């Protein structure tokens, strides 16, 4: 493998990464795309090129549009490195990764982080019990393994992915005991009044309403306005318990798929010490970017959901826009900017409509927050009482966030729990200090790393 600096390294082969690669190649840039999966598409178009007719029919049009993008991407002349686990990225734009068990490094002139999103943690009592997974996990099993639930199933939480998965399971003939929805029936009108500009995004909204109508036609039990969700069971999930219409209710289930929206995967951007803001609209950290996606470190860009949640359409356009800027072609960007403006229109409404409720983000004392180190919300509040000021200090107090997931599953909860207990803003509390290795690497692999020939500029 050549060690000369590449014009553009893209991390992530989802819609943002593929969109950027196509645009950058069209302007003659040399491009390398690293991705942790075995085939392009990201989570949204996962294994779209391998899906058979049955799977495509179940997953629907919004999935199938990814096939052309992925096929075009594979043809575009970018060097594509699948199955790459990135364990370190430096501000000098070196990307260190493991591939087939070997450690390698690439040097870039420009770097685009397009690592997408993952699901917002939903720390409710019992969320650590086997049989509880995320709705995204259910969908990944459908996309990547053609596996469907084989036991009594409940979907719970809120957000478009929950409805989409329910419809996909319906199309596959899977029985759903109930869809336990934390959003309320009148929420749409209320949210609409708050964000009237969302009318420009009516196509996205109609799609959502279509999903709800499909569920209604199928006669799925759809509980609205549920709160205080709790999973019953210790060795395995037995039931979902919740409050609705003033009553405690219980629905037996062995598989409980939770979802309350997605949040940017900021692991790399934090590790680079980029500047981040707390987004009150999306209740998560977002790296500071200019209109082209360039971060506080010149030459390092972020596009798509890893910057802020916008969905696949926005991600692809942001990827193209960043590539145009990096290729020195910003004069050509106007159509992309206009399309982005339209594609983003519905987002404020979706954010307001499917805002994760406080009780499911900032749980009671007995709920486990850090799954790796088994630290509860009450433990964290006790640390605060003892003088702990922010997430990074919880590590010293009780190893919170120090397990293998490196805070990915607890970070947002820890920030909000501390902010709530100290009665300050999440921005004041801050986040974990994320350090490499971002993925497990052995000393033998580290010792065998081949260094790039060119010195970083």
Binding site for other proteins (CB under 8 A): 36, 38, 43, 54-55, 58, 85, 118-119, 128, 130-134, 136-137, 140-142, 144-151, 172, 235-236, 254-255, 265, 371-374, 403-405, 408-409, 440, 442, 444
- The residue among 43 and 393 lying less far from other proteins, judged by its C-beta, is 43
CB of 372 to other proteins, least distance (A): 6
- The residue among 201 and 261 lying less far from other proteins, judged by its C-beta, is 261
Burial class (CB in 10 A: 0-12, 13-18, 19+), 328: exposed
Please state the φ and ψ torsions of residue 76, each to the nearest 5 degrees. Answer: -80, -5
CB of 288 to other proteins, least distance (A): 23
- The residue among 177 and 187 lying less far from other proteins, judged by its C-beta, is 177
CB of 14 to other proteins, least distance (A): 11
How far is 425 from 278, CA to CA, in rounded Å?
9
- Contact of 336 with 190, CB cutoff 8 Å: no
- The residue among 233 and 299 lying less far from other proteins, judged by its C-beta, is 233
The enclosing H or E element of 429 equals helix 426-429
Hey, is 388 helix, strand or coil? coil
- The residue among 43 and 394 lying less far from other proteins, judged by its C-beta, is 43
Query: Is the Cα torsion angle 39, 41, 47, 50 positive or negative in sign?
Result: negative
- The residue among 20 and 253 lying less far from other proteins, judged by its C-beta, is 253
Which residues, in sequence order, are CB contacts of 109 under 8 Å at separation 6+? 5, 6, 7, 8, 93, 299, 457
CB of 133 to other proteins, least distance (A): 5
DSSP secondary structure, 321-380, as one string: HHHHHHTT-GGG-HHHHHHHHHHTTTHHHHHHHTPPPGGGTS--TTSEEETTTTEEHHHH
Query: Is the Cα torsion angle 229, 166, 47, 307 positive or negative in sign?
Result: negative
- The residue among 184 and 371 lying less far from other proteins, judged by its C-beta, is 371
How far is 383 from 396, CA to CA, in rounded Å?
10
CA distance from start to end of the chain: 21
Pick from 356, 346, 352, 397: which is nearest to 373 by CA?
A: 397
CB of 375 to other proteins, least distance (A): 9
CB of 262 to other proteins, least distance (A): 11
How far is 232 from 134, CA to CA, in rounded Å?
16
Cis peptide before 221 (omega within 30 of 0): no
- The residue among 54 and 190 lying less far from other proteins, judged by its C-beta, is 54
CB of 169 to other proteins, least distance (A): 11
β-partners of residue 155 are 179, 257
- The residue among 30 and 269 lying less far from other proteins, judged by its C-beta, is 269
- The residue among 116 and 430 lying less far from other proteins, judged by its C-beta, is 116
- The residue among 340 and 375 lying less far from other proteins, judged by its C-beta, is 375
CB of 137 to other proteins, least distance (A): 4
Convert 296-326 to b/e letters by CB count within 10 Å (16 or more is b): ebebbbbbbbbbbbbbbbbbbbbbbbbbbbb
Convert 393-408 to b/e letters by CB count within 10 Å (16 or more is b): bbbebbebbbbeebbb
CB of 121 to other proteins, least distance (A): 9
CB of 302 to other proteins, least distance (A): 18
CB of 358 to other proteins, least distance (A): 23
Burial class (CB in 10 A: 0-12, 13-18, 19+), 240: buried
Spell out where 193-235 has E strands.
222-223, 227-232
């Amino acid at each position: 493998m050549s060690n000369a600096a590449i014009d553009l390294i893209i991390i992530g082969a989802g819609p943002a990464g593929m969109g950027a690669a196509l645009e950058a190649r069209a302007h003659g840039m040399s491009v390398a795309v690293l991705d942790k999966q075995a085939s392009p598409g990201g989570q949204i178009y996962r294994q779209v090129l391998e899906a058979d007719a049955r799977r495509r029919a179940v997953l629907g049009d919004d999935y199938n549009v990814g096939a052309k993008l992925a096929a075009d991407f594979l043809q575009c002349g970018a060097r594509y490195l699948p199955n790459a686990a990135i364990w370190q990225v430096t501000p000098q734009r070196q990307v260190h990764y493991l591939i087939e068990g070997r450690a390698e490094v690439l040097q870039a002139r420009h770097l685009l982080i397009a690592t997408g999103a993952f699901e917002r943690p939903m720390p409710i009592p019992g969320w650590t019990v086997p049989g509880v997974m995320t709705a995204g996990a259910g969908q990944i099993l459908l996309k990547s393994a053609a596996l469907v639930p084989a036991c009594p199933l409940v979907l719970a939480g809120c957000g478009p992915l929950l409805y989409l998965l329910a419809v996909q399971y319906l199309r596959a003939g899977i029985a759903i005991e109930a869809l336990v929805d934390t959003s309320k029936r009148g929420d749409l009108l209320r949210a609409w009044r708050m964000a009237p500009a969302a009318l420009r995004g009516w196509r996205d909204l109609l799609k959502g309403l279509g999903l709800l109508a499909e569920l209604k036609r199928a006669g799925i039990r759809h509980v609205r306005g549920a709160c205080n969700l709790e999973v019953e069971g210790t060795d395995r999930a037995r039931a979902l318990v919740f409050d609705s219409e003033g009553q405690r209710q219980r629905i037996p289930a062995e598989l409980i798929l939770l979802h309350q929206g997605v949040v940017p995967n900021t692991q790399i951007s934090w590790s680079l010490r980029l500047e981040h803001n707390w987004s009150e609209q999306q209740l998560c950290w977002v790296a500071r970017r200019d209109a082209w996606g360039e971060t506080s470190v010149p030459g390092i860009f972020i596009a798509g959901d890893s910057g802020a949640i916008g969905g696949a359409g926005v991600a692809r356009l942001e990827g193209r826009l960043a590539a145009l800027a990096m290729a020195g072609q910003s004069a050509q960007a106007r159509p992309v900017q206009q399309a982005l403006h339209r594609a983003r229109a519905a987002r404020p409404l979706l954010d307001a409509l499917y805002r994760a409720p406080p009780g499911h983000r900032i749980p009671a004392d007995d709920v486990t927050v850090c799954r790796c180190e088994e630290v509860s919300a009450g433990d964290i509040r006790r640390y605060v009482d003892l003088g702990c000021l922010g997430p990074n200090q919880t590590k010293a107090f009780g190893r919170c966030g120090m397990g293998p997931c490196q805070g990915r599953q607890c970070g947002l909860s820890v920030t909000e729990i501390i902010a709530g207990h100290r009665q300050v803003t999440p921005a004041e509390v801050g986040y974990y200090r994320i350090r490499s290795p971002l993925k497990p690497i052995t000393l033998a692999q580290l010792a065998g790393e081949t260094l790039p020939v060119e010195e970083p500029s």
